[in-house]
Amino acid sequence: MTLCVMFFLIIWRVPMTKKNLLSIYDLSVEEVKLLFSQAFYLKSKYKYFDILKGKTLGLIFEKPSTRTMVSFAVAMIQLGGVPLLLNNKNLQRKRGESIHDTSIVLSRYLNIIMMRAFKHSDVEEFAKYSTVPVVNGLTDYEHPCQILADIMTIMELHRIQAVEALRDIKIVYIGDSNNISNSLLAISAILDLNFTLIAPEEYLPEKKILSKAFEYTSLSKTEIKISSDINATENADVIYTDVWTSMGFESEANKRKKSLKYYQVNDELLKKVSPNCVVLHCLPAVRGEEITSEVMSKHENSIFTQAENRLHIQKAILLHLLNIKY
Ligand code: CP
Ligand code: NVA
């Protein structure tokens, strides 16, 4: 009897397979399709049900958050589970406890953990020692949950049913190459999207980020273009921008403002795009820098739908990583 119980406990603590979402590249095309279909289904049908009753989600934040924190917490509650907000300042990590020990201990209390960190390698290290699924809630390298909500929003606003039909849409990201554009590049590579990234030369993506995306695209017909010419926005069906100074890069803010000033999303820039162009911003925005107040106001429906969709995609992510079928 004792042996049986011990065996059960070991199995329970160390699941045979554990799926993380640290990068968009962790997902197959089939998984991405499943996440979108579940998110659309949950958006249309359910507000509350108790499929995650008794389950706990830990939310670790090394940086501030509004959307990621609240959408994950509400998603968990609306699915019947419990979210725990774990600000790094209140954890013993603040006093130097290792990622290794923190991860092992938290895995024994929680069923799934989301982590927002400065360094991507810290989230990778955390996931290595965690026995429960780990989700990247933004690092210096990627923001996968955001980008899944963004593609969902593009499908919704351009009335696209099938992922394959996304290829007819020209998606343009303009501004700083950062975690958002890295995840956009990754999803474009995986889903064969028509994607153009526009940034000044000094803020183009690093070589290793481009090589990784092109590794995938060499096998497909994907059209990924990298340019410093703002005219490459021509006929865009989606224009996406993000802040010029991401969290953790504040000391470079003045230099960035000077280099990026010609890459602002404003009325002039939008003259070249397609008539039904959807403007996206992951938020928070700095009005007057990467986007004007006028454009934000005119396109607030798409930008706030994008923010709302974080909630629906987080539910799909939680169910998928917890391997819950319904
Ligand atoms: N877009 C996004 O991740 O927002 P927060 O930083 O508020 O979570
Ligand atoms: N690139 C931004 C995204 C914020 C959601 C940052 O990292 O600060």
Percent of the chain past pLDDT 90, that is, above it, reads 89
Residue 65 CA to ligand 1 center (angstroms) comes to 5
Q: Residue 118 and residue 263: Cα distance in Å, rounded?
A: 26
Distance (Å, whole) CA 181 – CA 32: 18
- Whole-number pLDDT of residue 4: 46
Residues 6 or more apart in contact with residue 153 via CB below 8 angstroms: 278, 280, 302, 305, 306, 309
> How much distance in Å is there from the Cα of 1 to the middle of ligand 1?
49
Q: pLDDT-based confidence at 5, cuts 50/70/90?
A: very low
Q: What are phi and psi of 254, to 5 degrees?
A: -65, -45
Q: What is the DSSP string of 73-110?
A: HHHHHHTT-EEEEEEGGGSGGGGT--HHHHHHHHHHH-
Ligand 2 centroid to 18 CA: how many Å?
27
Better pLDDT: 221 or 309:
309
Is there a contact between 310 and 67 (Cβ–Cβ < 8 Å)?
A: yes
Question: Is pLDDT of 312 > 90?
Answer: yes
Contact between residue 86 and residue 62 where contact means Cβ atoms under 8 Å apart: no
- Residue 219: pLDDT band by 50, 70, 90 thresholds? low
182-216 in b/e form (b: 16+ CB < 10 A) is: bbbbbbbbbbbbbbbbbbbeebbbeeebbebbeeb
Quick one: which ligand is closest to 69's CA?
1
Q: Per-residue confidence at 281, pLDDT binned at 50, 70, 90? A: very high
Q: How far is the CA of 142 from the centre of ligand 1 (A)?
A: 12
The CA 63 to ligand 2 mean position distance, Å, reads 10
196-200: average pLDDT: 98
Q: Is any atom of ligand 2 closer than 6 Å to the C-beta of 179?
A: yes
In this structure, what are the phi and psi dihedrals at residue 266, rounded to the nearest 5 degrees? -135, 180
CA dihedral 320, 149, 107, 1 (to 10 degrees): -20
Q: Among 57-61, 86-90, 138-142, whose mean pLDDT is lowest?
A: 86-90
Tokens of 196: 């153009």
Cβ of 246 less than 6 Å from ligand 2: yes
Q: Is the pLDDT of residue 301 over 80?
A: yes
Q: Which residues contact 44 (CB under 8 A, 6 or more apart)?
A: none
Q: What domains are defined for the chain?
A: 18-143+310-321 (3.40.50.1370), 147-308 (3.40.50.1370)
Buried b (16+ CB within 10 A) or exposed e, 123-143: bbbbbebbebbbbbbbbbbbb
The ligand minimizing its distance to the Cα of 67 is 1
* 117 CA to centre of own chain: 13
What pLDDT shows up at residue 14?
Answer: 46
User: Which of 59, 63, 66 is the best mutation target for the ligand 1 pocket, counting ligand atoms within 8 Å of the beta carbon and taking the most?
Assistant: 66
What's the CA-to-centroid distance between 74 and ligand 2, angstroms? 21
% of the chain surpassing 70 pLDDT: 94
> CA-to-CA distance for 190 and 28, rounded, in angstroms?
8
Residue with tokens 């039909």: 165
Dihedral Cα 164, 148, 253, 95, nearest 10 deg: -150
| CA distances from residue 139 to 27, 134, 198, 224, 253 in whole angstroms, order as listed | 17, 13, 21, 23, 18
Within 13 Å of residue 283, how many CA atoms lie on the same side as its CB? 19
Give the β-pairing of 238-241 and 223-227.
unpaired
What are the pLDDT digits (tens) for 92-113? 999 999 999 999 999 999 999 9
Q: Is the CB of 68 under 6 A from ligand 1?
A: yes
Among the residue ranges 39-48, 130-139, 304-313, the one predicted with the least confidence is 39-48
What is the model's pLDDT at position 325? 87
Pick from 35, 37, 38, 14: nearest CA to 26? 35
Q: Give 32-86 pLDDT, tens digit per residue.
A: 999 999 999 999 987 778 999 999 999 999 999 999 999 999 999 999 999 999 9
- In this predicted structure, the answer to whether residue 235 has a pLDDT above a threshold of 90 is yes
Average pLDDT over residues 270-274: 97
Q: For a substitution probing ligand 1, which of 60, 61, 68, 243 has the most ligand atoms within 8 Å of its CB?
A: 68
285 CB within 6 A, ligand 2:
no
Question: Of all atoms in ligand 2, which is nearest to the CA of residue 138?
Answer: 7
pLDDT at 165 over 90: yes
Coil, strand or helix at 266: coil
| Cα–Cα distance for residue pair 112/133, rounded to 1 Å | 5
- CA-nearest of 122, 259, 266 to 204 is 259
Q: Which pLDDT score, from 0 to 100, does residue 48 have?
A: 77
Across the range 1-7, mean pLDDT stands at 45
| pLDDT higher than threshold 60 for residue 10 | no
For the CA of 245, the closest atom of ligand 2 is 8
